[in-house]
Amino acid sequence: MDFKNLEKDLLIFLDKNLKATGRKNFILGVSGGLDSAVVSVLCKKVAPTYAKIMPTNSSNQANLDDAINHCKKFDINYEICPIDKLIKTYEKIFLNKKISTHRIGNLSARIRMMVLYDLSEELDAVVVGTSNLSELMLGYGTIFGDLACAFNPIGEIFKTEIFEFAKFLKIDEKIISKKPSADLFEGQSDEQDLGYDYETLDKVLKKIYDDGLSFKELCEIFDESLVKFITSKIEQNSFKRRMPKIANIRKSSANTIF
């Protein structure tokens, strides 16, 4: 992949889409992970960028340190916005009980996005997405949480390509070399959640996305259980990649605006 031209294209994409909104700035969550590091660097090259670091009590301190150091290195305006009290308040008011780590993860992702969208009004900013193509195809993300955004510059870049792109952008090696994690709860690991490492997953995903291979063709190249896992994930989570369907009951040509 030609990363020099990729960067050029993505900077044009960000500039064009920001201008279309009429806003002046970008805002995004920076976790200390790879994807948000890449996106924040790209955004900073186009317009003033606000990074919000939103840890919980279970967040990894190393990720928090990496997020802060990353923002300092690239001169990105950042603020630490802990969200643990919001989570605890939700549990107390609406549930009156503790909930599973899976639900805590989804709740954390949605609270973080709520914070970003609220602050975007104050900062005349637009929320930028940080989900890569591997995650989007597999549906590995929280709908109306980390998947929510106005636009996404890395949504057609596989995770394994993001690692290489990050090196080109001179992102800190500590961020590049760490195991991918959304840091939604203590000990959480993306690859552990998925059951496969990204290198294995991307080999199959690329054959589907870039080459359009069928299930049968994929099984001639890869282990059938792996292919079944990936294709079922893509099918089951396809709704996350689309706007909600609206029942088409009117015949007016005006409905073409949707």
Boundaries of domain holding 140:
3-190
- Residue at 211 is within a domain: no
In single-letter form, the type of residue at position 208 comes to: I
Q: What does the block give as tokens for 121? A: 């009004």
- Residue at 52 is within a domain: yes
pLDDT of residue 5: 98
CA–CA distance, 137 with 221 (Å, rounded to integer): 20
Domain of residue 72, CATH code: 3.40.50.620
- Residue at 248 is within a domain: no
| Domain count for the chain | 1
- Residue at 171 is within a domain: yes
E-assigned strands of 56-151? 77-80, 125-127
CA–CA distance, 24 with 30 (Å, rounded to integer): 19
N residues, the chain: 258
| Helix/strand/coil percent split, the chain, to 5 | 55, 5, 40
- Residue at 209 is within a domain: no
- Residue at 36 is within a domain: yes
Listed as own residue / partner, the contacts of 209-218 with beta carbons closer than 8 Å and 24 or more positions apart are 209/133, 209/137
- Residue at 219 is within a domain: no
Q: What residues contact 15, with CB distance under 8 A and at least 6 apart?
A: 46, 47
**Do strands 125-127 and 77-80 pair parallel, antiparallel, or not at all (unpaired)?**
unpaired
Secondary structure element (H or E) that encloses residue 142, with its range: none
- Residue at 216 is within a domain: no
Q: What residues contact 154, with CB distance under 8 A and at least 6 apart?
A: 10, 35, 38, 39, 129, 130, 131, 132, 133, 162
In single-letter form, the type of residue at position 103 comes to: R
Per-residue pLDDT of the chain (258 residues; tens, 9 = 90+): 899 999 999 999 999 999 999 999 999 999 999 999 999 999 999 999 999 999 998 888 999 999 999 999 999 999 999 999 998 888 888 877 777 888 888 999 999 999 999 999 999 999 999 999 999 999 999 999 999 999 999 999 999 999 999 999 999 999 999 887 666 656 667 777 788 899 999 999 999 999 999 999 999 999 999 999 999 999 999 999 988 888 878 766 555 555
